[in-house]
Amino acid sequence: MQITFTAVPGIPLIAPGDDLAAIIADALFASDIRLLPSDVLIVAQKIVSKAEGRGVRLSQVTPSPRAVELAQVVQKDSRLVEVILSESVEVMRTRPGLIIVRDIRGWVCANAGVDRSNVAQDEGDEVVLRLPLDPDASAARLRQGLCERAGVDMGVIVADSHGRPHRNGVIGVAIGVSGLPALEDWRGRPDLYGYALQHTEVALADQIASAATLLLGQAAEATPVVVARGVPRTRCEGSARELVRPPEMDLFR
Amino acid sequence: MQITFTAVPGIPLIAPGDDLAAIIADALFASDIRLLPSDVLIVAQKIVSKAEGRGVRLSQVTPSPRAVELAQVVQKDSRLVEVILSESVEVMRTRPGLIIVRDIRGWVCANAGVDRSNVAQDEGDEVVLRLPLDPDASAARLRQGLCERAGVDMGVIVADSHGRPHRNGVIGVAIGVSGLPALEDWRGRPDLYGYALQHTEVALADQIASAATLLLGQAAEATPVVVARGVPRTRCEGSARELVRPPEMDLFR
C-alpha cells in the first residue's frame, strides 16, 4: 500500500477573478500527472481566497470602538482587528500578538485566518486576505470545474495551516471538502482481536491536508496545489463541517 | 516534488521483549523498499509499547480511592482509571467515557494514551497497554538498531492517534522523534513578497505522522510501519518534546 503526494508545477500567481479550475487544469495537463478518479486534489486556501477576491485594503477599513480596544490589548493594527472581528462569532482567547476566535465558518483559529503574509502590497496600501466565505462551496466549484475540464471527478480539499492547543507548531487542516468524507466513522469496526472500536472517528481530510502541507509549505503560492494518490477512502459529497466540533461538545472552550 | 508513504508488509504480531529493530529490518529486506538516508520511518506506538512490555493486567491493579471516585464520574473500570492516573501528572477534563490528562510525557490526551483495543486477552485477564515510557528514547533505539542492521541512518517517528480540542476526529501525531526536527522554525524566512514570516513554527513530525496514519489505520498492527520518502527536512537529533507546549504557554489549559 502506498500513498503519493505530488506538487503540481507551474501554477502562476493568482489574482482576483482568476478561474482557478481552468488554471489548475492547464497546469495538470502540462505536467506528467495523469489524474485518476480516486485522486484527491489539495489546494492552498490562499490562492482560493485570492481568486475569490477576499482581500481587503486596510485603508478602506474603519475600526469600531471594540476593534480599537482589542487592538490595544493584542498590539495589532485596529483596522486588521476590525477585519478579524468581522470574520468571527466569538473571541475565545487573546494575548499580545494573538487573537483566537471561533470564526463565522465554525473554525477555532488565530486571527480568523486573516493573513497579511504573502499578500502583495496594492499600490502601497496593505491588503490582508480573509478565508473563502464558504470553503466547502469553493471546493465543490473547483471539483466541478476540474471534472468538466479534465473529465475526472476527484475529491478536493481546501487546506489551511492552523495552530492548536497543547502542541507547538502549525499543521495543515481541511477547511473545505468536496467529494470525500472529511470524517470517517470507524466505530463498530472490529479490531484485530474482535473488540468493536468504541470511540474512533478519524479526521481523514485533516490528515490528507497535513500531508499535502509538507509540500505546500508556508509560502504556499510557490506550490499551492498537490495531488494525493492512493488514499483509501469512500466516495461521498463530504463537508469540512463534519470536522467542526459544536461548542457545547468542546471541553476546551 | 513528491513525497511517498509506503506501508511495510510482513510485520508479525509483536510480543513483549521482541527486538523491533530486527523485525522491521527483516521486513524491509524482504520487501522491495530500498532505504535512503533521507527516508523517515514511522512506527505505530502500539507495537513499540508491546515490544517494551508496557501492558498491564487489570487483575493485578489495585485502584486507589481517587481512582475509584473518578471511575464513578467517567463510568470506567476503576483499575483502568488507576493505570491512567499512574501515567498522568494532571487531570484536565472529564466527562462520562472520557478522561483528558496531561500525561507524564507532557502530552495532553485522552486516557493518557492507555488503550484496551487491539490488546490480546491474556488467559482471560484483560491487558491494557500504556504508551512507551520515553518514546524519544524508543525512536532513538530503533534508529540505531536499524542503522546497524540496514546501514542507513533514517529518521524515526513513533506515532499515535490523538483527539484534539475544537475539531472532530483523531489524527496521527508524533510522540517520539529521532533523527529529524519535530518542529521547524520558519520565523524570519522571507515570504514571496519579502515579508519576514512572524509566527510560523511548523510541526513537521506531526504532519508526517498524520500522513503515515492514513496507512497505519487504527487497527495499527496490520500495517504498523510506514516509510516516508521525499520529506524535505534537515538532519538533527530531534525530540518530540519540541512539540510539547509548556502549560504556562497554553491558552486552553
Question: What confidence score (pLDDT) does residue B76 get?
Answer: 94
Count of alpha carbons within 13 Å of B182, Cβ hemisphere only? 25
The predicted-structure confidence for A145-176, as pLDDT tens digits, reads as follows 999 998 999 999 999 999 999 999 999 999 99
Copy the grid coordinates of residue B156: 524515526
Look at strands A127-129 and B225-229 and give their pairing.
unpaired
Measured between CA atoms, the residue of chain B closest to residue A3 is B5
- Put simply, the answer to whether B243 touches A167 (Cβ < 8 Å) is yes
Q: CA A140 to CA A152: how far, in whole Å?
A: 14
Give B-chain residues touching A98 at CB under 8 angstroms.
251
- Put simply, the answer to whether B198 touches A117 (Cβ < 8 Å) is yes
- Burial of residue B214, with CB atoms counted within 10 A of its CB: 0-12 exposed, 13-18 middle, 19 or more buried: buried
Categorize the per-residue pLDDT at B194 as very low, low, confident or very high, splitting at 50, 70 and 90: low
- Architecture in CATH of A4-52+132-245: 2-Layer Sandwich (3.30)
Domain with CATH 3.30.1330.100 in chain A: 4-52+132-245
Least CB–CB distance from A166: residue in B119, B208, B252 = B252
Domain with CATH 3.30.1330.100 in chain B: 4-53+132-249
Question: What confidence score (pLDDT) does residue B192 get?
Answer: 54
Question: What confidence score (pLDDT) does residue A197 get?
Answer: 60
Phi, psi for A103 (deg, rounded to 5):
-85, 175
Phi, psi for B197 (deg, rounded to 5):
-65, 135
Q: In b/e form, how buried is each residue of A163-184, taking b as 16+ CB within 10 angstroms?
A: bbbbbbbbbbbbbbbbbbbbbb
Question: What confidence score (pLDDT) does residue B232 get?
Answer: 81
Pick the CATH number of B4-53+132-249 from 3.20.20.70, 3.30.1330.100, 3.30.70.580, 3.90.45.10: 3.30.1330.100
Q: How many angstroms separate the CA of residue B41 from the nearest CA in chain A?
A: 14
Taking all residues of chain B, what is their mean pLDDT, rounded to a whole number?
A: 90
Question: What confidence score (pLDDT) does residue A192 get?
Answer: 54
Least CB–CB distance from B211: residue in A198, A200, A210 = A210
pLDDT surpasses 80 at B119: no
Question: What confidence score (pLDDT) does residue A198 get?
Answer: 58
Mutating which of A173, A214, A225 best tests the B interface, going by the most B Cβ atoms within 10 A?
A: A214
Cβ contacts of residue A162 below 8 Å, gap of 6+?
A: A107, A109, A110, A170, A171, A173
Copy the grid coordinates of residue B215: 496507512
How high is the ipTM of this complex?
0.94
- Long-range contacts, stretch B95-101, CB < 8 angstroms, 24+ apart: B95/A251, B97/A199, B98/A251, B98/B74, B99/B70, B99/B74, B100/A251
Give B-chain residues touching A203 at CB under 8 angstroms.
167-171
Task: To the nearest 10°, report the CA torsion of B135, B140, B143, B148.
Answer: -140
Question: What confidence score (pLDDT) does residue B233 get?
Answer: 78
- Whether residue A35 contacts residue A227, with contact meaning beta carbons closer than 8 Å, is answered with yes
Give A-chain residues touching B165 at CB under 8 angstroms.
108, 164-166, 245, 250-252
Range name among B67-76, B114-123, B152-161 with the lowest pLDDT average: B114-123
Give B-chain residues touching A107 at CB under 8 angstroms.
166
- Long-range contacts, stretch A107-111, CB < 8 angstroms, 24+ apart: A107/A131, A107/A162, A107/A175, A107/A244, A107/B166, A108/A250, A108/B165, A108/B166, A108/B167, A109/A160, A109/A162, A109/A163, A110/A162, A110/A163, A110/B199, A111/A84
Neighbouring CB atoms inside 10 A of A249's CB total: 10
B81 vs A195, A252, B70, B89, B90, CA distance in Å? Answer: 20, 21, 7, 13, 13
- Whether residue B193 contacts residue A223, with contact meaning beta carbons closer than 8 Å, is answered with no
Q: Along the 253 residues of chain A, how does pLDDT read in single tens digits? A: 899 999 999 999 999 999 999 999 999 999 988 889 999 999 999 999 999 999 999 999 999 999 999 999 999 999 999 999 999 999 999 999 899 999 999 999 999 999 876 556 666 678 999 999 999 999 999 999 999 998 999 999 999 999 999 999 999 999 999 999 999 987 766 655 555 565 689 999 999 999 999 998 655 557 899 999 999 878 899 999 999 999 888 888 8
Phi, psi for A7 (deg, rounded to 5):
-75, 135
Give the neighbor-by-neighbor strand order of the sheet with A98-103. Answer: A88-95, A98-103, A108-110
Measured between CA atoms, the residue of chain B closest to residue A194 is B118
Homologous superfamily assigned to B55-129: CofE-like domain (3.90.1660.10)
Q: Is any Cβ of chain A less than 8 angstroms from the Cβ of B104? A: no
Give A-chain residues touching B244 at CB under 8 angstroms.
167-168
Higher pLDDT, B89 or A123: B89
- SS (HEC) of chain B: CEEEEEECCCCCCCCCCCCHHHHHHHHHHHCCCCCCCCCEEEEEHHHHHHHCCCEEEHHHCCCCHHHHHHHHHHCCCHHHHHHHHHCEEEEEEEECCEEEEEECCCCEEEHHHCECCCCCCECCECEEECCCCCHHHHHHHHHHHHHHHHCCCCEEEEEEEECCCCECCEEEEEEEEECCCCCEECCCCECCCCCECCCCEECHHHHHHHHHHHHHCCCCCCCCEEEEECCCCCCCCCCHHHHECCHHHCCCC
Give the neighbor-by-neighbor strand order of the sheet with B98-103. Answer: B88-95, B98-103, B108-110
The predicted-structure confidence for B202-253, as pLDDT tens digits, reads as follows 999 999 999 999 998 655 557 899 999 999 878 899 999 999 999 888 888 8
pTM comes to 0.94
Domain with CATH 3.90.1660.10 in chain A: 55-129
Q: Which amino acid is at A223?
A: T
Copy the grid coordinates of residue B230: 521525499
